[in-house]
Amino acid sequence: MRIRNLKNSDEIINNSIYIIKELNKNTFDNNNEIHIEIGMGKGKFILENAIKNPNINYIGIERFDTIMAKAIKNIEKYDLKNLKLIKCDALYLKDYIKTKINKIYLNFSDPWPKERHTKRRLTSDTFLNIYKDLFKTKQNIEIKTDNKSLFEFSIINLTNNNYKIKEIYLDLHNSNIKDIITTEYEEKFIKKQNPIYKMIVEKQ
Q: pLDDT of 100-115, one tens digit each?
A: 999 999 999 999 999 9
Which of the four pLDDT bands, split at 50, 70 and 90, describes residue 163?
very high
Q: What is the pLDDT of residues 47-102, one digit of tens each?
A: 999 999 999 999 999 999 999 999 999 999 999 999 999 999 999 999 999 999 99
Average pLDDT, integer, range 180-194: 95
- Residues sharing a CB contact under 8 Å with residue 139, sequence separation 6 or more, in sequence order: 131, 132, 163, 202, 203, 204
Q: How far apart are CA 57 and CA 76, in angstroms?
A: 16
Distance CA 124, CA 113 (A): 13
How far, in Å, CA of 68 to CA of 40, rounded? Answer: 8
Burial class from Cβ neighbours inside 10 Å (0-12, 13-18, 19+) for residue 90 reads: buried
CA angle, 57 then 59 then 61, to 5°: 170
CA distance 123 to 141: 10
Exposed e or buried b for every residue in 175-204, given b needs 16+ CB within 10 A? eeeeeeebbbbbeebbeeeeebbbbbbbbe
Helices 44-52 and 65-75: crossing angle in degrees, nearest 10, is: 30
Domains of the chain, earliest start first: 9-13+27-203 (3.40.50.150)
Which residues on neighbouring strands pair with residue 182, listed in sequence order? none
Residue type, 97: I
Active-site residue set: 110
Q: Is the pLDDT of residue 3 over 90?
A: no
